[in-house]
Amino acid sequence: MGDKTHTHPGAAGRAQAADHPASVRNVVLVGHSGAGKTTLVEALALTAGALNRAGRVEDGGCVSDYDEIEHRQQRSVQLSLVPVEWDGIKINLLDTPGYADFVGELRAGLRAADAALFVVSASDGVDGSTRMVWEECAAVGMPRAIVVTHLEAARADFEEMTRICAEAFGGDDPDAVLPLYLPLHGPQAPDGHAPVTGLTGLLSQQLFDYSSGERKASEPGEDQLPLLEEARNRLIEGIISESEDETLMDRYLGGEEVDVATLIQDLERAVARGAFFPVLAAAPAADGARQGLGTVELLELITRGFPTPLEREAPQVTTPDGTPRALKTCDPDESLVAEVVKTSSDPYVGRISLVRIFSGTLRADQTVHVSGHGLADRGHEDHDVDERIGALSTPFGKQQRPVGHVIAGDLACVAKLSRAETGDTLSAKDDPLLMAPWEMPDPLLPLAIQAHSKPDEDKLSQGLARLVAEDPTMKLEQNQDTHQVVLWCLGEAHADVALERLRSRYGVQVDVVPHKVSLRETFGSKAAGRGRHVKQSGGHGQYAICEIEVEPLPGGSGIEFVDKVVGGAVPRQFIPSVEKGVRAQAAKGVAAGHPLIDVRVTLLDGKAHSVDSSDAAFQTAGALALREAAADAKIHLLEPVAEVSVLVGDDYVGAVMSDLSGRRGRVLGTEQTAGGRTLVRAEVPEIEIGRYAVDLRSLSHGTARFNRRYARHEPMPPQIAERLREEAKAAS
C-alpha cells in the first residue's frame, strides 16, 4: 500500500457485475451525521473514474441523487450502493445514514458488507453512537479501518485525532489503531492554518502530493526522514505484533531490517482478519481536480487489505421448517442463497430490491423462492412463495445499469419482486432456504395517524403496507382498544420521513393525532346492580330481570362470572345470556368507555316470563345490571405500566434515574455491565414514556438504549384520571 502510482482508469472505474468472488470488495461506510461519508463516496468514485470532474456520471446523474427526501432534509436517510472499479476489483461502497433514527439502514449495510470504513470528522471527533457500532463490528470480527475527514477545518489536527481514535477504538491494544500515512502541510495561510496538501507513506517513505489535483509521488529529503522515524517504528512494531510469523518480532528487536514487502503483506493479512485497524486521511478533490487527498490510498487499502467475500463466514441457513443446512461459503456454482437488504419504490419501475448474494448465481428472469421473515408483530407478513424476478442491474445514484447475472459475493438491484421485503431470503425454487435475520432495533416512538380526507382513507391501507415493506424497523399497529392506526418509529426524524414518503411516494395525506394508551376500568369497591328489561308493545314482549353483585379482584384476574341463582328464578338456559350481556358491557366500559377488568360478577337472583323472556332480553338485562352497579360504585381508571430497561453510560446514570422518577417511575435496581455502562431497570406508566425514545437520546447524547414490555395495569392517580375524563368529555 502506498507504493504505486495510478493512472486514470477511465471506463474501468464504472463497475459492472463481477466475474469471481475474489474480485469483489463489499465495504460499508459508518460514521455520525455530518462526518462526510457521502462526500467521501463521491471522492472515491471520482478517483476511480466512475464520475467526471463535475461529479456526475456519464449520463448526467449525480452519485448522491438518491432520494428527494434526502435533498430536502440535507442528510442521508437510507442505505445507498455505489459500485466502482479499481485495479480490476469491483468495490461496492455502501453509504449509510449517520443519524440514529436510521440505524436500521446501518444494520442492513453491515449485513451486506465484509468490511467497514469508520468515517470520523477531525472537527467533531468520535461520538458515542459510533463507538457502539464499532463494538458491534468487533463482536462479529468485521475488519475495520478509520478515515479522518474535514482536515481543512480550523484547528484540525490529524495526529490528535489519531490518538483519540486509538483511545476510543483500541480497547486494551491502542497500538492496533495506527496511521499508515502522515499529512503533508502546505504554506501557512495568514490565519495561521497550514492546509494539508499531501501524505507521507510511513512504510514506503514516499511523499504523495495532491496539491495539483493529481497524485504525484516523490522521495523525501534527508531532513524529513527523522520526522517520520518515531511514527514509522511504532507502525512497524504494531504490524509485527500482529504477524503470523512468530519469529519476526524477535528478529526485528534483534536489529534485523524487515523489508517493506513483508510488512505490507503482514499488514494486509492483519487488516483482513480484523486484528489491525489503520487510520488514513481523506478529503474531496478541489474544483476541477480529479483526485481527492488520500483517495488513492483508501482504494489501495480496500482492494489489497480488506477481505474478499470468500473470507466471510456465511450467516446461518435453515430450511423453511427450521432444519439446519450447511452453506458452502460464497460458491457461484452452489445452490442460490441471497438476501434482500433494502427495499425501495420507484415511481416508474415499481419495487426495487437491493440483494446480497451469499451463494450461487442470480440470473435475470429467474424464478426464485422467497422466504421470510418472522416480523409479523411489526406488520410484515411471513413469506413462502415463488416469484419470477425482473431485470437485474447495478445502481449508480438514480441510474440503473443492466446486468445479465450476479455471482456469489456481489450485490445488485432486482426489479419487480412484488412479495419480497427487506430481510427476506431468495433461494432456488426447488431448494428453498431461510437465512437467520439480522438484529433489528425495536421502534419505540408511537405516531398515531388518521387519513386527512376520504380519498386518503381509501389509499391509506395500501400506502402503509408498502411503507412497512421497505422498512423492517417500522411497526404498524391497528390498536383495537383505542381504534388508532399507530406507526412505531425509531425517532422523530424517522417519523418525519415516514410521513413524507406516504405523501410524496404513495399520494396519501395523513394527520398526526395524540397517541392514546390502552386504559382499563375496574371497581374500587363492592356494588350491586339490578337490570330490568321489560317491554310490552304488541306481539311478543321482552321480559328479563336480574340482580348481580360486583366485587374487585386482584390485578390480572380478568372478568369472573359466578352463578348463585337458586330456585330457578333465572331459568338455566338464560344464565349464559346474562353472562354474555355482562361481558359485552364490560368490553365497552362502564364509566369512561374503557374495558372493565379484574372483577367478579355474581348473579344472585332474577325473574323470567314463560312467554316473553328470551336470550336477547337477558343479555340486555345483564348489561343494564352492570351499568347500574357501576353508577353506585367508585370506578378506578387503570393505566398500563411498562417494565423499562435502560442501558446507559455511567456518566448519565444519575440523570436517567432522576428522569425516570419524574415520570412516576419506580426504579427497581441497577447493575454494572461491560464497557462502563449501567443497566437501569424500572417500572413506568406507559402514558409517561410516549416520547421517551426522543428524550433519552437527548439526555444521554445518543449513547443510551432502552427497551420496554407491558407489565400490568394499575390504578392511575385520581388527579390524572380526572383530567383524562374531562378531556374525553370535551372531545366528545
For 287-311, write each residue's pLDDT tens digit: 767 788 999 999 999 999 999 999 9
Given a cut of 60, is residue 13 above it in pLDDT? no
pLDDT band at 173 (very low <50, low <70, confident <90, very high): confident
Residues 604, 608, 613, 619, Cα dihedral to 10°:
-10
Using the predicted structure, report yes or no on whether residue 101 has a pLDDT greater than 60. Answer: yes
Dihedral sign from CA coordinates of 675, 678, 681, 686: negative
373 band by pLDDT with thresholds 50, 70 and 90: low
Give the total residue count for the chain: 732
pLDDT class of 68 with cuts at 50, 70, 90: low
Task: Report the pLDDT value the prediction gives residue 1, as an integer from 0 to 100.
Answer: 59
CA distances 699 to 186, 427, 666, Å, are: 42, 45, 19
Of 46-50, 302-306, 549-553, minimum mean pLDDT range: 46-50
Is the per-residue pLDDT at 687 higher than 60?
yes
Cell of 238: 504494531
Q: What is the arithmetic mean of pLDDT over 327-341?
A: 90
Of 79-88, 209-218, 302-311, 368-377, the least confident: 368-377
Beta strands in 10-155 (DSSP E): 24-30, 80-86, 89-95, 115-121, 144-149
Task: Find the mean pLDDT for residues 33-44.
Answer: 91
How large is the average pLDDT for residues 230-248? 90
Task: Report the pLDDT value the prediction gives residue 145, as an integer from 0 to 100.
Answer: 96
- The one-letter amino acid at 731: A
Contact between 35 and 124 (Cβ < 8 Å): yes
Sorting pLDDT into bands at 50, 70 and 90, what band is 453?
A: very high
69-70-75 Cα angle (round to 5)? 140
The yes-or-no verdict on residue 65 having pLDDT over 50 is no
Kind and range of the H or E run holding 356: strand 350-359
pLDDT band at 444 (very low <50, low <70, confident <90, very high): very high
Instruction: Say which residue the cell 423453511 belongs to.
Output: 320
The values of phi and psi at residue 365, to 5°, are 65, 20
Question: Helix (H, G, I), strand (E, B), or coil: what is residue 45?
Answer: helix
pLDDT at 732 over 70: no
At 51, is the secondary structure helix, strand, or coil? Answer: coil
Q: pLDDT-derived band of residue 49, with 50, 70 and 90 as boundaries?
A: confident
**309: which DSSP letter?**
G
DSSP string spanning 710-731? EEEEEEPPHHHHHHHHHHHHHH
| Average of per-residue pLDDT across 558-585 | 95
Residue 152 has pLDDT above 80, yes or no: yes
Q: Mean pLDDT, to the nearest integer, of 246-252?
A: 87
Can you give the pLDDT at residue 70?
Answer: 53
- Global pTM reads 0.86
The mean-pLDDT minimum among 2-6, 123-127, 588-592, 612-616 falls in: 2-6
C-alpha–C-alpha distance, residues 413 and 78, integer Å: 15
| Residue 375's pLDDT band (cuts 50, 70, 90) | low
400 against 523, higher pLDDT: 523
Q: What is the pLDDT of residue 5?
A: 45
Q: Are strands 277-281 and 144-149 parallel, antiparallel or unpaired?
A: parallel
- The pLDDT-based confidence of 611 (bands split at 50, 70, 90) is confident
Lowest mean pLDDT among 20-34, 146-160, 717-731: 717-731
Band (8; pLDDT cuts 50, 70, 90): very low
pLDDT for the residue numbered 539: 67
Which residues lie closer than 8 Å to 122 by C-beta, 6 or more apart? 148, 149, 150, 151, 153, 156, 157, 158, 161
Mean pLDDT of the chain: 88
Only one residue has cell 400506502, namely 463
CA-based torsion, 408, 413, 415, 420: positive or negative:
positive
Domains of the chain: 10-311 (3.40.50.300), 317-435 (2.40.30.10), 445-513 (3.30.70.870), 520-633 (3.30.230.10), 637-731 (3.30.70.240)
Q: What mean pLDDT do residues 387-402 have? A: 83
Residue 586 C-alpha cell reads as 364490560
pLDDT of residue 676: 84
Average pLDDT over residues 625-636: 94
